[in-house]
Structure 1
Amino acid sequence: MEPEHDVQALSDADVHVYEAVAGGAGEHGSVGLDALVHSTGLPAEEVRESLERLIGQRYVRPTDQGFGLGQHTFGVWR
């Protein structure tokens, strides 16, 4: 069963971590956990938990060097 993608269900921390992944992955293809902790200013455990949620919904994917953007689409509801 496909995970449900609801960007509105993401917490502020999840959005912050996603944006940090997008910024780091855009420059280097992926970004490591330490860089995400540094760039978000969040505790490492909170970043790890957020990454688990984001990976579960395929917004983020694990890579050999850390984390990159996953394949997903954001829909607009009318």
Structure 2
Amino acid sequence: MSLESMLASLTPEEKLNAMDILWRDLSANPARLSSPDWHGDILAHRIANPSSVPRLPIDAAFDDVRERLNARRDQG
């Protein structure tokens, strides 16, 4: 049985649990992970071409994300 077919047989709750286990395992040794080349390219592009959209203070940004998530929950 392939990993994909095993994952397909899991419930959504089991899939979330598996993601949590994988994330804990991967994040335990971040030095072993390397970013793909395209990631560095995008960061360099964004540094060279900053957004014209004004930046939000961190608290306002978190509030904005919370509002968007709550709106999505209310729609579903």
Q: Larger % of strand: which?
A: 1
Is TM (by shorter chain) over 0.5? no
TM-score, normalisation: structure 2: 0.29
Q: Larger % of helix: which?
A: 2
- Rg: which structure is higher? 2
